[in-house]
Structure 1
Amino acid sequence: MDDTIAAISTAQGVGAISIIRVSGTDAIKIVNKIFSNKKFLNAPSHTIHYGYIMDGDERIDEVLVTIMRAPKTFTKEDIVEINAHGGIMTTDKILELLLVNGCRLAEPGEFTKRAFLNGRIDLTEAEGVMDLINSKTDISRKIALNQVGGKVSSMISDLRDELAGIIANIEVNIDYPEYEDIEEMTIEKINSNLSELESKIDKILKESKNGEILTNGIKTAIVGKPNVGKSSLLNRLIGEDKAIVTDIQGTTRDSIEATLRIDNLILNLIDTAGIRKTEDVVESIGVDKSLKLIDEADLILFVVNYNEKLSHDDLVILDKLKDKNYITIVNKTDLDKKIDDDKLSNVVYVSALNDDNIDEIGNKIKKLFNLEKIETTDLTYLTSARSGAILRKVLDSVKAVRKGIEENYPIDMVEIDLKDIWNLLGEIIGESYDEELLDQLFSRFCVGK
C-alpha cells in the first residue's frame, strides 16, 4: 500500500458534479501538480479550495478540491477529492492527468480495503458499506448502517470476550492451582458457560435469517400445474407484461425472474414452468427446474384454479410444500367455483385477469414473515453469507466441545478447542484473514469505493 490510488467515485455519465478520489502518501503532492491553487500543498486538513485543474497551461475544469490529511480519513491515509463538473470527457481527463502524474488506478473496493487494512474498519463494517450502497429499502438501509456503525462487530466481540474469559480461567486453574483468590473452573462451570454461549449464538443465527431476507430479498417461486395463471399473476404483481400469457399448456418452459418491493420486503420472483407429467423433452427440463426451485426457495406462491377441482398434479405439488413457507393462490375467481378448497391452507382468492384482491398477497406475505415485528426490533444482524457460515461453524464447534466435556476429554484439549473457536469468531470481524478472501470480498465493490 505504498502507492497512491485514484478513481472516479461518482456514477459514470452526465451529471451536475463528479468526484475523483485520490488516496495515499503522495495524494496531496500529485494533485498539487495539476491544481492551479498553489496554497493547496500546505493547506490545513478538512478544508475545501477553489481553482482549476491544469494540463500544462491549458485549463481542464473549474473545480473545488477537498484535502483530508491522515489519519482522520476513511483510509487513514491522505485523501484528496476533486469535485468537478459532471461529464464523461472532463472526468476522464482529470483521472488521466492523475495517472500520468503518479497515481495508480484503484481496484474495485480498494479504498474500503485500505480502510480495513489500516484498522479504520473491520470486515463486518466493510460488508456493511457494500450493503448500504446496495440497499433497496429503508429497513435494509438501517441494517447496513448498524453494520457500518460497528454494532455487529460489537456483538461478535462480546462473544469473543465471553469465550476469552472462560479460556483465561481454565489457564489460570491449570497453571496456578494453588491460588485461592481465583474462581475455580470446574467442568460443570465450563459446560454451563458454554451452554449460555451456544444459546446466544443460536439466537443470533436465527435472527440473522431476518437480516438476510430484508437485505437480499425473499427468493419466491410461483409454482403450479400448467394454465393456472402463474404468468398472469407475475405480470399483475410487478405491473408489467414480463411473462408471455396464452391458453396453451406449457407456454412457460423456463423460469422468468422479476423483482417486487412490498413495503420493506423485496421479493425475488421466479415464474416457473407448469408442473405436470410430459413427454416433451424441453418442457420436462423446465418441470425439473420448477421442482428444484421448490426446494431452494424461501417462499412458494402455489397457484391453483378456482374453476377446477384439485387434480393429481395439484396434490403432488401440495405434498412437496408441507415443510415450506407457502401461500396458496386460488386464481380465476371471475369463473364459477368448482375447487374443493378444504384441503388448502393459507389461502388468498384472486382474479389475475381482473386484478381482484392481488394486494392481499402482499399482506399475507408480510404476516407470514412477521414484518411488523421485525421492524420494531433491534436491527443488528449478520447479513453476509460469509459471516453466517463462519458463525454456524462456531455453533457446531461449541456443541462438539460440550459433547467432548461430557465424554471426559482432558481439560487442556478442551482449552485448545475453545481457542480455535475464539479464532473462528475473529475471522468474522477480520482479526484473522487471508489475502484471497479479501480480494474476493472487496472485488464486489465499485471502483471508487
Structure 2
Amino acid sequence: MNEAINDTSSRAPSPLPEITKVPTLWTFIGLIGGLGLGLLMVMRAPGALAPLLAVAEPVGDMWLRALRATIIPLVVSLLFMGVVQTVAAARAGAMARRALGWFYLILAGGSAMAGFLVPTLLALIPSPPGAIEALRASIAAADAKAAGPLPGVGDFVASFVPANVFAAAANDQILPLLLFTAIFAVAAARLANRQRESLLTFFEAVGGATLVVVGWILWVAPAGVFALSFAVAAHTGAAAIGALAHYVLIVTLTGTVMFLSAYPIAVLFGRQPLGAFARAVIPAQALALSTQSSLASLPAMLGACRQLGIRDRAAEFTLPLAVALFRGTGPAMNFAVALYLAHWLGVPVDGWHMVAGFAVASVMSFGAVSLPGAISLVTSCGPIALAMGVPVGPLALLVAVEVLPDLMRTLGNVTLDVAVTAVIDAMPGLDEEKASE
C-alpha cells in the first residue's frame, strides 16, 4: 500500500504556496469600527452621511467584486486537485477505500442534517425583530444580482449539463460547472502519467496563483469590511449587530451538532468507551482551539489514538488522509451559511435548490484545503450559495466574524478525525490486509 501512495503517477497535489496572512483581528476591528461609526453618524449627524456613503459604498463594492472574481477559478482548481487526490487515495488499498467511504458518509450526513436543522433553528430562535428585514432591504438594494424565478423540475435537471462550460462559469452557474470539473478530473485520472501530470500541474498553478491573489485581497479586508459595515449600519442602524450575532449563533450551533456526533460514532462504531475517548481527545481539542488548524493538531491526534489503543497502522494512515481530505464539520456549517444567507436575503429555496445545495456542500469539502477560515468561507460557501440561487455579496461581511464559527469548525474536525480513525481500526480485515501486502 505504501508503494501505491508514493507512486508519482498517483501523487497528491504539491503544497500550495504560502499566502499572505489574513489580518483576522484587524478585520474584526474594521467590522466593529464600521458598524460603530455608521451608528454614530445615524444618531448624531445624519446629514453628513451622504458624502461619506459616496466614498464608502464604491470602496466596499470594489473590494467585494475583487473577492467574487476569485471564486470560480479557485473553486474549479481546488475541486480538480481534490478529486485527483481522492482517486489516488482510493487506489492505495482497502483501508483507504474504507476511510473515504466513512469520510463521505459523515460529510453527506452532516449536509443533510443542516438542511433540516437550520430551518428549525431559524423557527425556534428567530432573529431580533426588524434586524433581518432592515438588512435585507439594505443588501438587496446594493446587490444587483437578484434571485430570478425558480425553474421547474425539467429545467433544473437539464441545467446539470452545461452547453458551454465557459458560459456556465461566466454566469455563475456553479452546479453544472462543478459537475463538469469533477467528471473532468476523474477522466484525467485515466490518462497516461505524463498527460495526467501536465493537467495536475496546470490546476495546481492556477489554484496557487489564485490563492495568492485571494491573500492580497483579504490583506486589505479591514478596509473593505469597514466600508461595507459602515454602509450597512448607515442604512440599517443597530439591526446589523443583532443579525450578525444571530448568524454566528445559528452556524455555531450547527457545527456543535457535528462536533457532538463524533462521540457516538467513536462509541458505537469505533468500540471506544465514552469516557476514555472524551479524555483522550482533550489535548488535541485544546491544540485545535489555540491554533485553529487540523494540521497543527495532527501530533496530538496521533497521541490520542495511542492512548485509546488504536493500532499505529490505522492511525498513521487514516489521520494524515483525514487532515488532507476530510473536513467533518465543513458541509454542515457551509450549508448552514448558505441557508442563512437565503433567509437573510429573503430568497425562496424550493426542494430542488435544497438538493443542489446539499450536493455541492457534500462534495466541495473534497476541494477544500487547510486554509484560514476567511478563505475557506469564500471557497466553500460561495459555490453552495450560487447553486441555490442565493447572492454571495453578504459573504464579504461574514468574513469578519468567521473567526468565531471557525473555532467550532476546527474543534469538530479534529474530534471527528480521531473518531473515524477509531472506526477504521475497529473494522475487520485490517490484519488480513497487512498480511497480504
* Bin for the TM-score computed over the shorter chain: under 0.3
Quick check: which one's helix share is greater? 2
- TM-score if structure 1 supplies the norm length? 0.27
The answer to which structure has the higher strand fraction is: 1
Larger RCO, structures 1/2 (Cα 8 Å, 6+ apart): 2
TM-score, normalised relative to structure 2? 0.27
